[in-house]
């Protein structure tokens, strides 16, 4: 099995979030390691959050498990009823169907780095804090109307 060097995979801060929801992830830089190395059953992303950055809008998936491993720096894991400081070596799991909205925020003055494991969702993804829903392969308002 070849050693993976994340630096060989293009880094992007592109997002599909429609404005104004895209602003929260402007300081998120992702390297999609899974597709670049032939993985098709699940994805692995190497993520750098610069100070002030968010991993995503706070969300939960109906049909996708997610798992994160902190590699460097620190971020705050924000959930429905908790804020937990995450540092290198810490891990968190988010089972599909659990309506505990979550995301990571970098509230420090340095970068934080983590690995995110999951797969592209095929079912709905809910965003409890904003008027956003992922459904039928795209973003919509919660009432399912188009942006």
The secondary structure of 65-77 as a DSSP string is -EEEEEEESEEEE
- Given a contact cutoff of 8 angstroms between Cβ atoms, the answer to whether 121 and 64 are in contact is yes
Q: For residue 87, give its domain range.
A: 17-140
Of 89, 30, 18, the C-alpha closest to 55 is 30
Q: Give CA 91 to chain center in angstroms.
A: 14
What's the distance, Cα to Cα, between the start and end of the chain in Å?
A: 44
In a domain, 28, yes or no: yes
Question: pLDDT by residue for the chain (147 residues), tens digit each?
Answer: 578 899 999 999 999 999 999 999 999 999 999 989 999 999 999 999 999 999 999 999 999 999 999 999 999 999 999 999 999 999 999 999 999 999 999 999 999 999 999 988 789 999 999 999 999 999 999 999 999
- Given a contact cutoff of 8 angstroms between Cβ atoms, the answer to whether 92 and 49 are in contact is no
In a domain, 118, yes or no: yes
CATH of the domain at 64: 2.60.120.10
Q: How many structural domains comprise the chain? A: 1
């Amino acid at each position: 099995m070849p050693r993976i060097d994340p630096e060989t995979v293009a880094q992007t801060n592109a997002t599909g979030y429609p404005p104004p929801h895209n602003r929260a992830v402007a300081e998120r830089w992702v390297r999609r390691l899974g597709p670049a190395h032939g993985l098709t059953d699940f994805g692995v992303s190497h993520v750098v959050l610069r100070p002030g950055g968010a991993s995503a809008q706070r969300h939960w998936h109906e049909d996708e498990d997610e798992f994160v491993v902190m590699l460097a720096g620190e971020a705050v894991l924000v959930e429905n009823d908790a804020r937990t400081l995450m540092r290198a070596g810490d891990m968190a799991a988010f089972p599909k169907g659990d309506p505990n909205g979550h995301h990571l925020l970098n509230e420090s003055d340095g970068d934080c780095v983590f690995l995110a494991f999951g797969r592209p969702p095929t079912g709905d993804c809910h965003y409890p804090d904003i008027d956003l829903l992922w459904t039928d392969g795209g973003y919509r308002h919660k009432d399912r109307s188009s942006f």
